[in-house]
Structures are given as structure tokens and as C-alpha cells.
Amino acid sequence: MKPRRCARHVSRSAATATNARSVRLGAMADDEKLARTLSDPGVATLILEHAREYAILTLDLAGTITSWSAGAERITGYTSDEAVGMDFAVIFTAADRSAGQPRFELEQAWREGRAEDSRWHLRKDGERFWANGVTMSLRDAGVEGLIKVIRDETSGRLADEQRVLLLNELNHRINNTLATVQSLVEQTLRAAEVDRSVRDDLTARLMALSDAHNALVAENWAGADLHAIVTRALSPYEQPGRGRFTVDGPPVRLSPPQAVSMSLVLHELATNAVKYGALRTLSGSVAVDWNQHVDSQGGRHLTLLWAEEGGPVVSAPTRRGFGSRLIARSFAEDSGGRARIDFAAGGVRCVIELTLSTEAELPMLDVVEAIRAGEPDV
């Protein structure tokens, strides 16, 4: 480097370092200024008066209220003059008081530094309100006591309970509908003297759909665990002591549409394995393995392998039946999803790939339409 160019480089470096020091010194000065501002009793009082969404109260070690914020007055209905000097247990329900919950909360907060709770509390007029709060110990400048901060979340809690009520009603109606459909199908096909094997296949598919629904119900339709879906689909074919299935993979959650599709596909694979594949013989076995990866854009992807071995020699079917079409179509609407079946001589292998969804935005698989267009499996 030439002397003049070097000098310019050193000058720029020095200027950069000086600017960095100035920024750090400025930040430190701002922090000190903020600390002095917050330590001003007048500012602290102003903050408490305007934090009206929160009830903030201080307590002595016996649980007696020593200060009461404007937010506490708005939420509970007790004025500061009424509240100061009262036992803070007054805002707890009779059941919680009899169980010693207020005292437990005080002791835990003093012993561990904080105690959190979410429960129903009582307003002055006896109305209940759901609050999430924390009680913390105060040990500063010779002051010993506690501070409790709670937020009224009654509206959110009631909305959640209403959603649960509606969801339970929906689950009940869907279960009844599936049972009715199953009965109608069985009676209609029997009256038409349809072959018993066809009736059994269709009933089994409806049961697979019902099992998928039950897996979603267990988690309030927020999705379903893949391991639970796999074990539900394989359980009818498991034989105690034989260990015909090997299931392995990391925790993965599927969206409701993906859970339904996966359940139906696994049912078809298991049914075919019983009729023509590895589960047709006592020595046959099935391994279900999966893994997930994240692409460069942060998208999560699942790869699942169904692998049979130990069964009779496999050959490709001469025609494509309902099961094969269902497997191929099930994930076609998922972005980047596909299912591929390989009829290898040593055993059927099916690879499923799909993009994992965190939102239930995809339409539910139209199983009814698929059954109408379908025919008995290969």
C-alpha cells in the first residue's frame, strides 16, 4: 500500500472507530437518562395511572393491600380507599380461598421471586372475571413486600369456551353423519346384492375417514401428529407379539387436510398389503419411516417411505384401481406434494412427499367424489 493511500485508510478507520464510540456513549447516556426518569416517583405514578388495562397492587408479607392502581379499580370495581388495607384474597373465589390458594401464591412469590396464575377472580359486585397475573417479591432499600399485576382476559376466555362448545357440537354432528352414511351405504349395497368384498372395502374406507376425524378431534382440529395417524391406521392389522410394523420418524404435525389424506392413503396401503403384499404372509413386515427438511426459503417438507418385505413376489397391476388413484391424487393439490408407488419384486414401496402446512388453508379431500368415481382396488 502506498503511503498516501495508507494514510487515507488509517484516517477512515479512525473516523469509523470514533463514530462507533460516540454511538456507544450516546446509548449509555440515553440508558442513564431513562433510568433517572423511571426512578422519578412522579413518572412512576403517571405510568401506573395510565396502565388501565392492568391491575397493579402492592402487598405486605401478610397479603394486605398497600397500594391500588387506577387499573385495579377499573377491573375489580374497588376504589383505592376501599382496597388499601384489605386482604388481597378478597378478589379470589371462595373455592380458591378455602383451598389456601392466596397464601400459597404469596409464599411461592416470596420464596422463588415470582408466582404466576391464570384463574377466575371476583369483582366487587360478585361477577367473575378471568385474569392472567404474576406476583413478584419486592426487596429493595429496606422495603419488603410483593407486587401483583393482573390482566383481565375474560372476553378472550369466553370466546375460547364458545369455540370449544361449537367445535364439540361440530364433532358430534360429523360423527353422527359418518355413522349415518356408513349405515345407508351398507343397506343400499346389500339391497342391490353388491358383492360382500366390495361392501367391506367401502365400509373400511369410511372407517378410515372416521379415524382421521377422531385424530383431529383429539387435538381440536389444530392438526394431528403424524405418529398418531400412522399408529391409528396400522392398529387394525397389528398382531400381538409379532411386531409386523416398524414405525420411526421425528415429531411432525400435519394440517387437517393433510391428516385426512395421510390416513386414507395409509389405509389403502395397509389393505393392499393384507390382500396382495407383505401382510398376506406370517413372515411379512412393513416399515414406515419419515423425515423432514427445511429448504433455503424456510419451507418445511416431509418425505415418508412405506416399505414392505417378506411377502409374496410383487408384480405391477394390470389396471389402476381406486386405491392406486386415491394414493396418487391425495397430495396432488398440496404445493409440491406427490406420492409414488414402486411395485418392486421384493415388496411394494411408496414414497410420499409434501410441503408441511402450518395453516388449514387447503380444501378437505373430496372423498365422496373419489368413491363415486372409483372402483374396487387392485
Domain ranges of the chain: 1-39, 41-152, 219-373
263 strand-pairing partners: none
Reported as a pLDDT band with limits 50, 70 and 90, residue 326 is confident
Query: CB atoms < 10 A from the CB of 47, how many?
Result: 12
Query: Has residue 301 got a pLDDT over 80?
Result: yes
pLDDT in tens, 245-276: 999 999 998 887 788 888 888 888 988 888 88
pLDDT in tens, 37-94: 445 555 555 555 656 688 999 999 999 999 998 899 999 999 999 999 999 999 999 9
Q: How many helices, marked H, and strands, marked E, lie in the chain?
A: 12, 12
Assigned architecture for domain 41-152: 2-Layer Sandwich (3.30)
On whether the CB atoms of residues 346 and 287 are closer than 8 A, the answer is no
Residue 119 has what DSSP assignment?
E
Reported as a pLDDT band with limits 50, 70 and 90, residue 31 is low
Determine the Cα–Cα distance for residues 357 and 371; give it in Å rounded to an integer: 26
pLDDT in tens, 142-183: 778 999 999 998 888 888 777 777 777 766 676 677 777 767
More confident residue, 155 or 106: 106
Which CATH entry fits the domain spanning 219-373: 3.30.200.20, 3.30.565.10, 3.40.50.300, 1.10.4000.10?
Answer: 3.30.565.10
Q: Which three cell numbers stand for residue 276?
A: 396382495
Determine the Cα–Cα distance for residues 304 and 293; give it in Å rounded to an integer: 12
pLDDT, the chain, mean: 76
Determine the Cα–Cα distance for residues 21 and 12; give it in Å rounded to an integer: 14
CA 83 to each of CA 56, 257, 296, 354: distance values in angstroms, whole numbers, following the listed order: 12, 53, 57, 59
pLDDT number for residue 13: 43
Determine the Cα–Cα distance for residues 178 and 21; give it in Å rounded to an integer: 71
More confident residue, 204 or 50: 204
More confident residue, 188 or 92: 92
On whether the CB atoms of residues 370 and 202 are closer than 8 A, the answer is no
More confident residue, 3 or 219: 219
Query: What b-and-e string marks burial along 259-298, b requiring 16 or more CB atoms within 10 Å of the CB?
Result: bbbbbbbbbbbbbbbeebbbbeeeebbbbbebeeeeeeee
pLDDT number for residue 128: 93
pLDDT number for residue 247: 93
More confident residue, 21 or 355: 355
pLDDT number for residue 276: 87
307 phi and psi angles, rounded to 5 deg: -130, 125
Ranges 281-285, 313-317, 325-329, most confident: 281-285
3-state helix, strand, coil in the chain (%, to 5): 50, 25, 25
- Name residue, grid cell 417479591: 137
Per-residue pLDDT averaged across 99-110, rounded? 93
Strand ranges of the sheet holding 338-344, from the earlier edge strand across to the other edge: 245-248, 285-294, 300-309, 347-355, 338-344
Residue 280 has what DSSP assignment?
G
147 phi and psi angles, rounded to 5 deg: -130, 135
Per-residue pLDDT averaged across 110-129, rounded? 92
Reported as a pLDDT band with limits 50, 70 and 90, residue 279 is confident
